[in-house]
Structure 1
């Protein structure tokens, strides 16, 4: 980013504000909803991915620490002390995703990225419609969920955009109150593996750029927390409609971006 024009720096700053906003507001989408726009500013994925990964690690850590403190305080006050993280389902999901995640990270299987992305975005689009219109394609399909978690783990290993596939499954298995923090715990584990790979392959982590982009994501994170509180207080139907709208936006953006590259 050393050779960017001033307006490119402004655009990157605003995109990272947006990234932090959607990440804390919904618990997912920080990478999937920002990376396509960042690549439109400048097509350097290996510049942006380490920055996004470190921010995911930082904010997921804050969320889990806050959740732990809140649970301990509730225990001390003899209140309902249910954790905001579904640890049982977290272990189940990670057990399924860990191998495809490693496969994606180390590139042991090379699949056509454009074809894989197009298929995934179409699947995500169907799931988005299920949330928007209140019906489900495979809520009772255990194997369908496993397949999507495997694909999500693989895509997370290759480019950190596996979140739409993972959320499509996790949202059907975890309560609304535990969904966001459970997702943050999943991101913490998956991103830790990704960052380890960056270090192994000597990829520049762009730490100097975190000095001005981490505050940008922090602004968005704060605003997203307010939105998340509003969504939790609103009706469950409205919550899932918002989530479905975001998923549909992600899938359409990704699909038409791939279509544009093919043409």
Structure 2
């Protein structure tokens, strides 16, 4: 599927969503997929269309941002945490490639609904013990593997263990690594990367990317207010998405029941 397969209104909606994901990715330093994928699923409900495109963009923009920033990465903690994240990510990728689309979308909307409530109610994901850190890293790795939306879970741990001035650059290296693994798996299994569509959307996402870079410091100073507004939006989108999936499930069930 390419952009030409969508209507004009859908193309405009896709453009706005990718501006948004680019903005969030650099404005917060994480969450582009978590805050963008649920919206994309309203336009086309197959995650395997959007995830390779998001992956291409993330590799490009994170690589561009980190070109002169590798000295500002907390490499020791990155290596220590990767032991828990990467194996779980492989399990998540396996689920992405084998689970039915309805289940995948339900999982994505449910995870996003959880994020939305925690942000809207200012109930951040917290960990005060080493075992809890490891559990969050593994869970975040799994969610990232299955949907690229595991960032908030891992960020909760990274924020306690990485200094604020190195946090965004360290996270970008983590995202780059996880997406590289996912994209390599896609290529090995002949999954369509929708590369031309990703290239066509690259300039659109760049608008949000640049805006996010310019407003990053402002967002960080007003982090709680920003997340509360975003949380409310995520709750709304996720509930609508889950209702849509429920309606589809009921329709499919009734159709199958009538055939018996």
The corresponding residue for 2:119 is 128
Mapped partners of 2:224, 2:75: distance in 1: 22
Check the 8 A contact 1:149/1:169 in 2, yes or no: yes
* From 176, 188, 191, the counterpart of 2:179: 191
* Partner SS for 2:34: coil
Mapped partners of 2:238, 2:34: distance in 1: 9
Q: CA deviation at 1:185?
A: 0.9
1:242 aligns with 2:226: yes
**Contiguous gaps of at least 5 residues in structure 2:** 248-260
**Matches for 1:66-145 after TM superposition, within 5 Å:** 66-68=68-70, 71=71, 83=72, 85-107=73-95, 113=104, 120-121=111-112, 124=115, 127-128=118-119, 132=122, 138-145=126-133
Mapped partners of 1:208, 1:241: distance in 2: 37
Flag the 1:140–1:255 CA change in 2: closer, same or farther, 3 A. Answer: farther
Mapped partners of 2:138, 2:236: distance in 1: 22
The corresponding residue for 1:74 is none
Flag the 1:104–1:259 CA change in 2: closer, same or farther, 3 A. Answer: same
**Matches for 1:3-18 after TM superposition, within 5 Å:** 3-18=5-20
Q: CA deviation at 1:159?
A: 1.6
Check the 8 A contact 2:113/2:238 in 1, yes or no: no
Higher helix content, 1 or 2 = 2
Q: CA deviation at 1:86?
A: 1.9
TM-score (norm 2): 0.80
Mapped partners of 1:91, 1:115: distance in 2: 32
1:146 aligns with 2:134: yes
> What are the superposed Cα offsets for residues 101-136 of structure 1, whole Å, 9 maximum, x if unpaired?
111112399796577557645654575368x3xx76
Mapped partners of 1:136, 1:3: distance in 2: 40
Mapped partners of 1:175, 1:245: distance in 2: 26
Check the 8 A contact 2:126/2:156 in 1, yes or no: no
Mapped partners of 2:124, 2:16: distance in 1: 35
Check the 8 A contact 1:26/1:243 in 2, yes or no: no
Mapped partners of 2:225, 2:238: distance in 1: 20
* From 186, 209, 215, the counterpart of 1:227: 215
Check the 8 A contact 1:117/1:255 in 2, yes or no: no
Flag the 1:240–1:88 CA change in 2: closer, same or farther, 3 A. Answer: farther
Q: CA deviation at 1:142?
A: 2.0
The corresponding residue for 2:51 is 49
**Contiguous gaps of at least 5 residues in structure 1:** 72-82
Check the 8 A contact 1:156/1:163 in 2, yes or no: yes
TM-score (norm 1): 0.79
